[in-house]
Amino acid sequence: MLEYIVFNEMKEDAMSTLTMRIDDADAAVVRKYAMFEGKTISDFIRDAVFEKIEDQEDLKALRSAIAEDDGTRYAHDRILSELGL
């Protein structure tokens, strides 16, 4: 049996409702984790979605930095010396 989980997302003064279908076992895991974190299912899923988006943005920034890396490296001691530490 599939279960529907509905959560709301703030959009200025309005709220949007999003619905997802997951099986009972997955729904039970979501409920347990949300309860463990002391969150509603809506808050738990919203946080998980935005954490995933943030992770993807971080990965994109990392890949960009790696692509732009020119190989220049500085010794730790040199940096400390230049900073007067």
pLDDT tens sequence across 15-54: 778 888 899 999 999 999 999 999 999 999 999 999 999 9
| 68: Cα within 13 Å, side-chain hemisphere | 6
Q: Does the pLDDT of residue 63 top 90, yes or no?
A: yes
pLDDT recorded at residue 8: 60
**Average model confidence (pLDDT) for the chain?**
88
Query: Does the predicted model carry a pTM greater than 0.75?
Result: no
**Considering only CA atoms, which of 32, 33, 26, 34 is closest in space to residue 1?**
26
Q: Does the pLDDT of residue 6 top 90, yes or no?
A: no
